[in-house]
Chains A and B, each alone.
Chain A
Amino acid sequence: MRLDCGVISRSLESVGIRRASGSARSCAHGAAARSGQGEPGTNGSVRRHLHTAGIMALLALPKTIKPTVPTRLGTLLLLLVLLIGMMAIVFTNNLFYLITATLLAFVAISGILAELTLSGLTGRRQLPGRLFAGTPAAVGVEIRNEKPRASSHCLFVRECLDGPFGDDRLFLQVLEPGSSAHRSYLLTLPRRGRLALSGIWVSTLFPFGLWEKAVLLPCVQELIVFPRPLVPTWDSPLHLVDSGATETSVRGDGDGLVSIRDYVPGDASRSIHWRSSARTGSLKVKELERDAQSSLCLVLAPRFGPALETGVSLATGMLLAAHEAGMRTALLTHEETIPMGRGADQLHRQLTRLALYGDAPGDAWRPALPPVRTEDTHRILLYEPRTEPAWASRFEGRRWPVPEAALSHAAGARRGLLT
Chain B
Amino acid sequence: MTRALSHGACHLFYVAGYLALALTEMFHPALMVLWGAVLLASWRWRHPDRRFAAARIRLGFLGLLPLAAIDGSTSMAVGGPDLFAALVSWGGLFLMLWPFERAPHGLSCLFTLGQLVAAGTLSTSIWFALSTAAFVASGVSMLICLTLADGRSPLLARHPIPFVKIVLDPTPVSDRAALRGPPPRPVRLVMAVSMAITATTVLLFLIIPRYGAGWFFSSRREPIRRAGFSERVTFGAIGEMQNDDTVVMRVKLMERTGRYPGYLRWRGVGLDHFDGRAWTESPGREWVLESRHRGLRDTRYVVGASLEPDVVILKQRVFLDSDLEGVIFAAPRLLQIWGQFTRLVRSRNGSVTMKLPAFTTRSYLVSSAVNDPDAAALIASEGVEENQDMDVYRQLPAVIGPRVRELASKIVGPARTRYEKAAVIERYLRSRYTYQVKALEPADPGNPIEWFLFDFRKGHCEYFAGAMAVLLRSLDIPCRVVNGFVQGGFNPVGDYYLVRANDAHSWVEVHYPQIGWVTYDASPDRLEPAPTRSGQLARTLGLYLDALSMSWRLHVVDYHLLDQVAYVRAMLAFLRGRPGASPDRTGSTSTLSGQDVPKVFLLICGLLVAMSMSWMIVRRAMRTGPLHGTEFPTRAYLDMLRSLERRGIARDPHETPREIVRRVRSRWPPALQAVETLTDWFEQARYGGRTVTASGRAAIERALAELRTMSRARDGSGAPDPAAGGSGRLPGLGER
Contacts and interface: CB of A to CB of B under 8 A. Distances in A.
Interface of A: 69, 71-73, 76, 80, 84, 87, 89-102, 104-106, 108-109, 113, 116, 124, 126, 138, 140, 142, 144, 149-151, 153-154, 165, 167-186, 205-210, 212
Given A113-B193, A124-B733, A178-B639, A209 B558 contact: no
A150 B619 CA distance: 5
A184 B166 contact: yes
Contact of B213 (A89, A173, A185): A89
Contacts of B216: 90-91
A181 B120 contact: no
B687 interface: no
Contacts of A149: 619-620, 622-623
Nearest to B557: A94
A109 B204 CA distance: 12
Given A98-B201, A170-B165, A174-B184, 9 more contacts: A72-B156, A89-B212, A101-B204, A104-B200, A105-B136, A109-B196, A149-B623, A174-B624, A178-B642
Interface stretch (B110-118, B589-597, B720-728): B110-118
B110 A76 contact: yes
A173 B147 CA distance: 10
A154 B158 contact: no
B158 A69 contact: yes
Contact of A207 (B109, B147, B211, B360): B147
The 8 lowest CB-CB distance pairs between A and B, nearest first, are A92-B212, A209-B156, A95-B120, A105-B200, A208-B143, A101-B204, A101-B205, A105-B201
B164 interface: yes
B144 interface: yes
Interface in B108-160: 109-110, 113, 116-117, 120-121, 124, 128, 132, 135-136, 139-140, 143-144, 146-148, 151, 153-159
28 contacts: A72-B157, A80-B110, A80-B113, A95-B124, A96-B120, A97-B205, A97-B208, A98-B201, A99-B117, A99-B132, A104-B208, A108-B204, A113-B193, A116-B622, A138-B167, A165-B158, A174-B183, A175-B179, A178-B639, A184-B166, A184-B167, A184-B168, A205-B147, A205-B151, A205-B156, A207-B147, A207-B193, A209-B153
Nearest to A69: B158
Contacts of B201: 98, 101-102, 104-105
A73 B359 CA distance: 35
Contact of A185 (B166, B189, B638): B166
B106 A207 contact: no
Interface of A is mostly: mixed
B181 A98 contact: no
Contacts of A109: 193, 196-197, 200
Interface of B: 106, 109-110, 113, 116-117, 120-121, 124, 128, 132, 135-136, 139-140, 143-144, 146-148, 151, 153-159, 162-172, 175, 178-179, 181, 183-184, 189, 193, 196-198, 200-202, 204-205, 208, 210-217, 359-361, 556-560, 618-620, 622-624, 638-639, 642, 732-734
Nearest to B196: A109
A106 B623 CA distance: 21
Given A95-B556, A102-B197, A151-B624, A72 B155 contact: yes
A179 to B, nearest CB: 5
Contacts of B117: 84, 87, 96, 99
A186 B167 contact: yes
Given A76-B106, A154-B151, A94 B559 contact: yes
A157 to B, nearest CB: 10
A407 to B, nearest CB: 29
Contact of B179 (A92, A174, A212): A174
B139 A182 contact: no
A360 to B, nearest CB: 38
Given A98-B205, A113-B193, A205-B156, A170 B143 contact: no
Given A109-B193, A207-B143, A171 B360 contact: no
A209 B624 contact: no
B156 A71 contact: yes
B164 A170 contact: yes
A45 to B, nearest CB: 29
A29 B172 CA distance: 60
B81 to A, nearest CB: 10
Contacts of A113: 193, 618
Contacts of A87: 117
Contacts of A205: 147, 151, 156
B169 A184 contact: yes
Nearest to B171: A182
Contacts of B639: 178
